[in-house]
Structure 1
Amino acid sequence: MGNRQWGTVIKLACILFILIFLLIAHPSPILADLERSALTPELLQQRIKSPQLQEGILTLDLTYLEIDLTADNNEFKEEFYRQLQNFLTHSDKAIGLDFSHSLIKGDLISSRLGMSTVLSPEILPKNLTQTERKIIESDPQFSAQSLEHMSSVILFRGSLQFNESTITGNVDFANSLILQKIEAKQAKFTKEINFNNADFGRKVDFSKSVFKQNANFNGSQFQEPVKFNQVQFLGESSFNYSQFKQSADFSEVVFNKVVNFSHTSWLDSSKFITLNCRDRILFSNSIFSGSLNLSNSTFEKSIVFRNSYFRNMINLKNVKLLGIMDFSNAEFLKEKAINIAGFAFDSDTAKVLGNTGEIAEFMYLNSIEGNETVLRNFIQNFRDSEQIPDANQLEYKKQKLTKQQLSENIIRTPYQDYWRLSFIQKIGHWLLLNVLLLLSQYGTNFSLLLGVGLISIGYFGVLFWFIDRWRRRLPTPILPNLYDIICMVSSGSSLLVIGTIEIFNSAEYPFITLLCLSLILIPLPLSLVTLMYERGRYHDLMESSYFLLDGGLRQLQLLIVRLPIIPEFHFFRDRFTPLMWERRWNWLNYYDFSLNNFLKLGFNDIRLRDQHLPGLISTLVWYQWTLGILYIALLFWTLSRTIPGLNLLIYLK
């Protein structure tokens, strides 16, 4: 044989060796099927006589078997159930069943395997351990009262294992109480499974299993952690009225049809990470005591949380929504309850709904970086649904995050860049943003802005009255009478109290808001007044008011374009006369002028005279007029955001 032929033989031998090694290390499903042995009455009897110890529990080894429980093999089916039930119910010790890697043809029915009993101390088997009794007593159906009207349950004392097994028929474990763990990793359930009103006393693990038909877990009790991760629910699945007392893991699950978790109770954390839900998923009337994690999940249709209660946070990070997410009438215990970082509206019909004026309060982001689109989409979502308070709430949170980001940028700026134009612009932007946030919550809170306006109008009204009436004490006093003093002090205090109450009811940080308002209203006006009294007033017309009243009209007027100084043309000047100090109602005119000068709205046309007038008083009046222009702009901007009808005109797509 030549060298070339020997080389070919060696190569073939190597390839054959590698194939054999791979088959041994990773046996294929086909080979696994070939390894299964048909279960016969004799083999069943042999296995019953020699149970194996697994994790401290005697377990009947029914692995790698082909178990035919179809109607065509009725004689064996009856023998199978009879022998197993007799063995399980009459044993003094808990016996588990291990069907791993087996093929079960036909239906698997728990009532023909377990022990039928009533959950009452009088009826329970005497050979139960203390731990088993504790699990049974925690079942909602357990009762120490009369046995009348009590239904029976199917009791399994041992564990159940279906790892990598296939069941071609229906699985019926309704009204079953399983005291040990149930494990069904990578199992295949070809037809419907029914765990209605089942109670799982230990861990439940269905990881990587496939449910090809409907799965019914209605009313089930899960006492310990549950794992359904990477499961495929190809049919409808229902967990109505179920209770999860410890953690539940539904990560990477595929729900192909409707899944119903309504009226469920989750006492610990629940994970639905990387969920793929192709139909509706319902969580209505449920209670979530632990955190709910839906991060990186995709919802192609609606997800409903109506009337649900959340004691902990909901993580919606990187969720992709194509349908409707409904939080109507849901209650949240935590202030920061819904994490919306990376949330995506992936279709034109995608919507998030909730109670108007409430749902947005519970949404939060840790940073605006990378989430600008998220906030913009949520704001537009609430505007489209005419939930204007929620849209405004998110706009306010967005600007707070912007301020936080801007503050961090300013702090990190090197000292050498302090005099650059870009840094000065940042400082200006930061100051303006802070003022808008504190005085109007960035144009989203009309009540807060109203409180600011009441304080401002009252403050300047008292200030104008003071500088006009309190002229001098000597040689001839020019002072207000006691009645005017009482009226101005009481009315000014009332406006201050009302405005302050409004701010405390509306502002997030009322003390800081009042401090900001004080910095605008107090330093410059009081400096002007103090300087004026230090210099003294030595001009003509000392006994005449600085303010002139147009007596031609007395009506409510909107005077946006009006200036606070008397007109130059003598024809108009003749209509203006000084305020009459001796009249009892004259003190109201100072509030009228303040309202007119600040809000451009008043009952009388009152202006400042332009002769024998101290320049400091003119400066004070023009200062209020300038603040009024800014206030009106802020007021209209706020109204455009808070009134739905006006909002539609401004935010039309």
Structure 2
Amino acid sequence: MGSDLGLRTPLYAQAIAPIFTKTEQEQLERLRLVCLQSLAVSLPNSKDCQSLLGTQPTVAGDVTVFRGALTLEQTRFNGEVTFVNTFFLQSVNAKNATFLQPTNWHESRFSRPVNFNNASFRQACNFQDSVFFDKANFKQTQFQETANFQRISFENVANFNEAQFKQLAKFGGVQWQDNADFSGVRFANQAQFTRASFNQSLSLVETTFEQAVIFREALFNRPVDLRGASILNQADFSDAIFSSASFLNVPGLTFNSNQAKILGNPGQIGQMFDIPTLQGNQNVLRNLGQNFRQQQQVADANQLEYTKQQLRLKELSKRLIGTNINSALVASLVKLGFSPTQANVIDQRRQIKAFRNSSELLSLADIDLEIYNKLSDRLVVAEPLSLGSWLLEAWLWLALSVLLLLSGYGTNFWLVFGVGGVAIAYFGLVFWLVDRARRLRPVPIIPTYYETVSVLISFSCLEFFSLLAIFQNAEQPLLTLGCILIIIVPVPVTLLTRLYQQGRYHDLINVSYFTEDGTFRQLRLLIGRLPVIPRNPTFRERYMPLLSDRHWNWLNYYDFSLNNLVRLGFNDIRLRDEHLPGIIATLAWYQWSLGVLYITLVLWTLSRTIPGLNLLIYLK
């Protein structure tokens, strides 16, 4: 049974008016719009679309029409059910219906709400190329065999909540114009969403995928909610397109990287995961990171590690400045937003028994859900911190903040490169200024015009490319730049100010403070190099003062800065050991000390960004 119960009529513009009412014609016009929209994807194959978009009547354009509501509630169908190329102008209600044989709804159009709530399809069902103009309800529906929903257009909400798919579920090429709800669904076999288009949110909350779920070339315009979902085999997001407003919300995701895989485009998929808090999601982040390391997608694994450390920093910040409900004064609770009565109730409760988590506040009669949701983000539930513990937490917060700002927690080499470039150029300029601009009176010792212009131009170029690397790779480039300036500016500026205030009155005032190894010049790695030559006459003969009258002499100051920071240079340049102001030696040792930290940061970052070395270190 099926289509033969309806009215068979041709479907093209000239034949619509005599048969259908004005309201029904408007519904058919909606189909024409859907057919026009489908042209953006591919040429429509359905007979009615070809007829509506064509100009000549064709026999193939005939369609079966149900002008009244179709009620199949609690109906049991022992034979095949066929509603091919059928237009339902009113609602279809098949709640609790049972279909024992295959059902075919191919190219059907549902103008009003469709209800298959708790229906059971014992054999294959085919809804391919159909259109649902209103709400489609497949809640708790049982699909015992293959379910074919390919190239369907859902113009309104589609609800598959708690449905069961025992065999292959085909949703390839589906157009979801409104929300799609697959919460609590269990896919026992493969689920295919290839080339599907999700224009609104997709809910997969607590959904179970026992076999592969495929989202290849799918389009996501809104968030995908995977809270509490279980991926037991494979989730494939290869070549999927994520708009700026879309992401994968994965708190509580059940995923074992040793048994399952998540696939996606390298360098993209790792940025799509969103986890609001670290608490309760450590295993999720660890398994996701290990999943991408096993696939040698280091950039994605590092992105997840960066996300994890950001969440950790957020928790540390909350513990340091948040209001601890187990130790805060009543006045502090009132200032936070609780009423005096609520604050007193909290105080009485914690004197009897300390709070273990913030949700225990809801057990108090005076605390309602509204005030809890408003203040929960600013509340801390923990043992009160002693002064020593607070200082330790503050130090951890500071160290983690610096690592995130300067290297993305060891995940971004080009950011580290930019940071080093800024420091090398800055200290090169400082050392040039210290050595070449010594005094104005009585006899000026200052650099030449050519040398000054050369240094300033080279400094500007180095800083430009370094800042470009920072602004292209840092998530918060201004904060990163501010952190760099705090590290490299105050100490040198203080030392320079003191140096020029007290003046310089020592022997060899006309000789450069910097010396170079005169035996040979080549690019060399100077791991154990110190910034000052040893106090030994042999070294004084070997290391010769820089020649200030050479046009290229200004390059040596950048070379010295490079030696100090990264232990690499074109020549071994050091400070002389005699008649050297202590302030200048202090300045050089300060940069050398920063270089030890910077080299450590570089090596750590390389170990996390080079695929082979990354796997060697992190895979267990």
Work out which of the residue numbers 104, 109, 115 in structure 1 matches 2:2: 109
Aligned-partner SS, 1:484: helix
Which residue matches 2:275? 365
State how many pairs are aligned: 545
Post-superposition offset of 1:487? 0.8
- Equivalent residue for 1:403, pick from 309, 313, 317: 313
Q: Which residue of 1 aligns with 2:531?
A: 564
Deviations 1:58-112 (A, max 9, x none): xxxxxxxxxxxxxxxxxxxxxxxxxxxxxxxxxxxxxxxxxxxxxxxxxx231x2
Inter-partner Cα distance in structure 1 for 2:612 and 2:13: 67
* C-alpha distance in 2 between matches for 1:346 and 1:515: 40
How far apart in 1 are the matches of 2:271 and 2:59?
48
Within 5 Å, which residues of 2 pair with 1:139-158? 139=31, 140=35, 141=49, 142-143=52-53, 145-148=55-58, 150-158=60-68
Corresponding position: 1:579 with 2:546: yes
- The answer for the alignment partner of 2:96 in structure 1 is 186
Residues 526-564 of structure 1 show CA distances to partners (whole Å, capped at 9, x for unaligned) of 110011100111111111111111101211111111111
- Paired residue type of 1:495: L
Does the 8 Å contact 2:293/2:301 carry over to 1? yes
What residue in structure 2 maps to residue 58 of structure 1? none
Name the CA distance, whole Å, in 1 between partners of 2:527 and 2:246.
Answer: 43
Per-residue CA deviations over 1:448-495 (Å, capped at 9, x if unaligned) read 111111110010011001001111111111111111111111101111
In structure 2, relative to structure 1, the CA distance for the partners of 1:315 and 1:306 (3 Å cut) is: same
SS of equivalent residue, structure 2 residue 467: helix
CA contact (8 A) 1:336 1:364 kept: no
Within 2, Cα distance between the matches of 1:645 and 1:198?
A: 54
Greater relative contact order structure (CA < 8 Å, 6+ sep) = 2
Query: Is 1:307 equivalent to 2:217 in the alignment?
Result: yes
Q: Secondary structure at the match of 2:15?
A: coil
Q: 2:138 aligns with which of 219, 228, 232?
A: 228
| 1:213 corresponds to 2:123 | yes
Cross-structure match for 1:119:
11
Contact 1:335 1:362 in 2 (8 A): no
Alignment partner of 2:30 out of 118, 129, 138: 138
Partner residue, 2:342 = none
- State the Cα deviation string for residues 160-188 of structure 1 (Å, max 9, x = none): 11111110110000111111111111111
**Paired residue for 2:417, among 427, 450, 463?**
450
Q: Please say if residues 181 and 202 of structure 1, whose CA atoms lie closer than 8 Å, have aligned partners that are also in contact.
A: yes
Specify every segment of 5 or more residues in structure 2 that has no aligned partner in the other structure, as ranges.
Answer: 36-48, 330-383
Tell me the CA shift for residue 437 of structure 1. 0.8
Q: Is the 8 A contact 1:215 1:238 kept in 2?
A: yes
Deviation at 1:143, TM superposition (A): 4.2
Shift of 1:238: 0.4
Q: How does 1:458-477 map to 2 (within 5 A)?
A: 458-477=425-444
Distance 1:194 1:451 in 2: 62
The separation in 2 between residues aligned to 1:288 and 1:522, in whole angstroms, is 51
User: For the structure 1 residues 153 and 383, does the alpha-carbon distance in structure 2 shift closer, same or farther, using more than 3 Å as the test?
Assistant: same
Give the alignment of 1:316-327 within 5 angstroms: 316-327=226-237
Query: Partner letter of residue 109 of structure 1?
Result: G
- SS class of match (1:117): strand
Q: Relative to structure 1, is the Cα distance of residues 291 and 150 closer, same or farther in structure 2, using a 3 angstrom cutoff?
A: same
1:129 aligns with 2:41: no
AA paired with 1:636? L
Q: Equivalent residue of 2:416, what SS?
A: helix
1:424 has 2:391 as partner: yes
Are the equivalent residues in 1 in contact too, given 2:565–2:595 (CA < 8 A)?
A: yes
Residue aligning to 2:153: 243
Tell me the residue number matched to 1:589.
556
Distance between the aligned counterparts of 2:22 and 2:282, measured in 1?
Answer: 58
Within 2, Cα distance between the matches of 1:318 and 1:419?
37
Q: Secondary structure at the match of 1:422?
A: helix
When structure 1 is superposed on structure 2, of 148-157 and 206-215 the one drifting more is 148-157
Q: Aligned in 2, Cα 1:415/1:469: closer, same or farther, shift over 3 Å?
A: farther
- Pick closer, same or farther for the CA change 1:424–1:630 going to 2, 3 Å: same
What amino acid is the match of 1:327? F
**Taking structure 1 as reference, are residues 520 and 606 closer, same or farther at Cα in structure 2, changes over 3 Å only?**
same
Larger radius of gyration: 1
Match status 1:489 vs 2:382: no
Report the Cα distance in structure 1 between the residues aligned to 2:540 and 2:579, rounded to whole angstroms.
15
CA deviation after TM superposition for structure 1 residue 574, in Å: 1.9
1:164 equivalenced with 2:74 (yes/no) = yes
**Structure 2 SS opposite 1:116:** strand
**For 1:436 and 1:346, how far apart are their aligned partners in 2?**
29
Q: Does 1:328 align with 2:238?
A: yes
1:379 maps to which residue? 289
Match of 1:646 among 601, 610, 613: 613
Residue 593 of structure 2 corresponds to which residue in structure 1? Answer: 626
% identity of equivalent residues: 44
- After superposition, what is the alpha-carbon deviation per residue over 1:347-383, rounded to whole angstroms, capped at 9, x for unaligned? 7331111111111212111111111111111111111
Q: Would you say the 8 A contact 1:245–1:267 is kept in 2?
A: yes
| Structure 1 position 502 matched with structure 2 position 502 | no
Structure 2 SS opposite 1:138: helix
TM-score normalised over the length of structure 1: 0.82
> Are the counterparts in 1 of residues 257 and 288 from structure 2 also a CA contact under 8 Å?
no
Partner of residue 108 from structure 2, selected from 198, 216, 220: 198
Structure 1 residue matching 2:586: 3-state secondary structure: helix
Amino acid at match of 1:247: V
Q: Give the C-alpha shift of residue 346 in structure 1.
A: 4.4
Q: How does 1:547-562 map to 2 (within 5 A)?
A: 547-562=514-529
Distance (Å, rounded) in 2 between the aligned partners of 1:644 and 1:347: 18
Query: 2 CA distance for matches of 1:418 and 1:619?
Result: 38
> Is the CA contact 1:323–1:347 (under 8 Å) kept in the aligned structure 2?
no
For 2:97 and 2:144, the matched residues in 1 are separated by: 14
User: Is residue 2:232 matched to residue 1:265?
Assistant: no
The residue type paired with residue 398 of structure 1 is K
Alpha-carbon offset, residue 569 of structure 1: 3.4
SS in 2 for 1:123: helix
Deviation at 1:334, TM superposition (A): 2.9
8 Å CA contact 2:222, 2:243 repeated in 1:
yes
2:188 aligned with 1:278, yes or no? yes
2:220/2:246 contact within 8 Å kept: no
Aligned to 1:392: 302
User: For residues 127 and 117 of structure 1, what CA distance do their matches in structure 2 show?
Assistant: 9
Per the TM alignment, residue 415 of structure 1 is displaced from its structure 2 partner at its CA by: 8.9
CA RMSD of aligned residues (A): 1.5
The one-letter code sitting in structure 1 at the alignment partner of 2:595 is G
Corresponding residue for residue 287 of structure 1? 197
One-letter identity of the residue aligned with 1:374: V
Alpha-carbon contact 2:17-2:25 (below 8 Å) kept: no
Contact 1:121 1:144 in 2 (8 A): no
Shift of 1:581: 0.7
